[in-house]
A and B are shown apart, each in its own frame.
Chain A
Amino acid sequence: QKEVEQNSGPLSVPEGAIASLNCTYSDRVSQSFFWYRQYSGKSPELIMSIYSNGDKEDGRFTAQLNKASQYVSLLIRDSQPSDSATYLCAVKEVGTGNQFYFGTGTSLTVIP
């Protein structure tokens, strides 16, 4: 069983600030990493994927991956109240099938 750990929060940031969400994983051969956003009562939606060490930017979102340290993070710049949600980290391991392993999520609240 792969371990994917996230701080459950809640994390509160003021509107316009940078929100930083972190995720660590236990498997050194994990291959692909994903961030999902889940609004209350809704299903998760994919917002970022990252496969290589370093940073990947998409609009206000930046994913950062450090495979040596086994962590992946998500930065949300200029946070908006609409970013208030639970953010799930997912990890896919090399080889055996297409199964993802999910963290339990970090709850983010952006305060207007």
Chain B
Amino acid sequence: DVKVTQSSRYLVKRTGEKVFLECVQDMDHENMFWYRQDPGLGLRLIYFSYDVKMKEKGDIPEGYSVSREKKERFSLILESASTNQTSMYLCASRVSNYGYTFGSGTRLTVV
């Protein structure tokens, strides 16, 4: 089974901090994704990547950036954390026509 690992389950950060969320997958998938999930709003795509050093904006990229230096690792960066970025962050990877495999999620609280 594909394993997608997110480095932190819970994080508490202060407003204005730079925050790094790490995601690693172990099945050589080209495609990786970052979503945030909020009650009533569902899953919203922040950024995705088809290959190393490649990135594409999703529906809500403002305030975020990403890095993919190695195929297995896709990092989400909050340049200057704000309280409206308090959310559950989900990383996913996939190949071809198969569904996503999600990581366990990081619940980020910005205070």
Chain A contacts to B: CB under 8 angstroms: 1, 31-32, 34, 36, 42-46, 49, 51, 88, 90, 92, 97-100, 102-105
Contact = CB atoms under 8 A, between A and B. Distances in A.
B102 A44 contact: yes
Interface in B56-102: 56, 58-59, 90, 94, 97-102
Contacts of A102: 42-43
Contact of A99 (B48, B99, B103): B48
B25 interface: no
A42 B9 CA distance: 10
Contacts of A1: 59
B104 A43 contact: yes
Interface of B: 31, 33, 40-43, 45, 48, 50, 56, 58-59, 90, 94, 97-105
Given A43-B90, A49-B98, A98-B31, A103 B42 contact: yes
A9 B33 CA distance: 28
Central interface residue in A1, A31, A43, A88, by most chain B CB within 10 Å: A43
Contacts of A100: 99-100
A46 B101 contact: yes
A92 B100 CA distance: 11
A2 to B, nearest CB: 10
Given A49-B98, A51-B97, A90-B99, A104 B41 contact: yes
A61 B22 CA distance: 34
A36 B2 CA distance: 16
Which of A1, A32, A98, A102 has the most chain B CB atoms inside 10 A of its CB?
A: A98
A100 B101 CA distance: 12
Contact of B99 (A34, A43, A97, A105): A34
Given A43-B104, A51-B97, A104 B42 contact: yes
